[in-house]
Structure 1
Amino acid sequence: MTHVSFEQRISTEEELRELLGYPSELVRQKVINHWDRHYREFIDLSPFILMSTANLHGECDVSPRGDSPGFALVLDDKHLVIPERPGNRRMDSLRNILSNPYIGLIFLIPGLEETLRVNGKASILRDESLLGTMGVNGRTPMVAIGIEVEECYIHCAKSLKRSRLWQAETWPDLAVLPNPA
């Protein structure tokens, strides 16, 4: 295996800004701290979320969440709830939230190249009246993740355009992939 040293590191924001510059005024102004009508519609249409959390030591985790569009429930202009569906029971995100409430979300809509980015604070909820509204196939979640939004904005399409993620003709032949089992 090749040894990599990462010797030429950038260590300050000043150094980074000198090299890469600053965002435009339009980019700075697009960040808001609540759901507007467009963001609510985006969340309602999204069947897939990437959820980023970190524990008290800063060790990060990104976990996928998916269900029918609208599975993430907007409660009001500042609050969102995501049901915790049965899975592998590792509970990485949930354990992280217990020690560090900060959370980042990326909402995706198949075929749409823009994404919705959300940052906020999370808590683990077990309110039965709320959970009762989030059941699927006769199964009510035992807990949900409540998020209070601190910032949200539409992220430009450049990364999804470059990756051609939604273009089926660019997808690899899955038969050549190794078996994960």
Structure 2
Amino acid sequence: MNDQSKIAESDALRDLYGEPVPASLVKEMTFLTEPYAAFIKASPFVVLSTCGEEGLDASPRGGPPGFVRIVDKKTLMLPDRSGNNRVDSLSNVVTDSRVALLFLVPGVGETMRVNGRAKISVDPQLVASFADVNGKIPRSVLIIEIDRAYVHCSQSLSRSKLWDPAAQVDRKALPSIGQMLQACRAEFDGAAYDKRNEEEGGLIPED
């Protein structure tokens, strides 16, 4: 790529794209409005993005709608459920508290973004308050102080047809997770992993 084709200054970027759409500025808040809170309460899925000394990370998190707790207009709590124990996101938070969250609601085209700063709590009473239906408690809870919250229109999801049943891909048309892991390490038993994953309803981490 020719260096002359790169955008290296913010002014040049603004010249290329022009002024922001007015509604994109109106929607940005420093706290959760009631409609924004309603969206988050309905969301069973969020992507948690972090940065730190080891680099960047974007981690999917899920649970029943409301699994991300709204404490007040400026504070969210996100439990860290059992997983693969890589703790990439949490390690980043230790060195850089900045986080970004993207909330999705099944069947809804809009998405909700929250930027803020997080800290990790292992307070026994707090983690116990996030016990799931099986009585399992998270090892820690992220407490997120909101800096910015804003909704995204449905353009991206409409273009992707993410919620369109006709656009859904047959899972068998793609490599299984066991096959993906075995392609990374030949000695990994992908078939055994897939069998165990199926038996446990897809709830095992990447061993």
TM-score past 0.5 threshold: yes
Larger Rg: 2
Q: How does 1:5-154 map to 2 (within 5 A)?
A: 5=1, 7=3, 8-56=5-53, 59-136=55-132, 137-154=134-151
The C-alpha deviation readout for 1:84-104, integer Å capped at 9, x for no partner, is 000000000000000000000
| 1:115-142 deviation line (CA, Å, top 9, x unaligned) | 1100000110112222222111111112
Higher relative contact order, chain-length normalized (CA < 8 Å, sep 6+): 1
Aligned to 2:177, what secondary structure does the other structure show?
A: coil
TM-score by structure 2 length? 0.82
For 1:51, give the aligned amino acid.
L
Runs ≥4 residues deviating over 6 A = none
- Aligned residue pairs total 176
* AA partner of residue 65 (structure 2): P
Distance 2:105 2:175 in 1: 28
Structure 1 SS opposite 2:49 = strand
Partner of 1:175: 172
Partner of 1:166 in structure 2? 163
How far apart, in 1, do the equivalents of 2:63 and 2:46 lie? 9
Offset at residue 24 of structure 1 (A): 2.5
Query: How far, CA to CA, are the matches of 2:92 and 2:2 in structure 1?
Result: 29
Superposed CA deviations along residues 23-68 of structure 1, whole A, max 9, x for unmatched, are 12322121001111111111111000011001136x2110000000
**Which deviates the most, 164-173 or 93-102?**
164-173
Q: For 1:132 and 1:44, how far apart are their aligned partners in 2?
A: 20
Q: Residue type matched to 1:55 in 2? A: G
Partner deviation per Cα, 1:8-33 (whole Å, 9 max, x = no partner): 21111111111111212322121001
Verify the 8 A CA contact 2:82 2:139 in the aligned structure 1: no
C-alpha separation between the residues in 2 aligned to 1:22 and 1:157? 20
Structure 1, unmatched stretches of 5+, are none
Q: Is the 8 A contact 2:130 2:138 kept in 1?
A: yes
Tell me the CA shift for residue 173 of structure 1: 2.4
Cα distance in 2 between the residues matched to 1:128 and 1:179: 38
Q: TM-score, normalised by structure 1?
A: 0.93
Distance 1:61 1:18 in 2: 31
Post-superposition shift, 1:174? 1.9
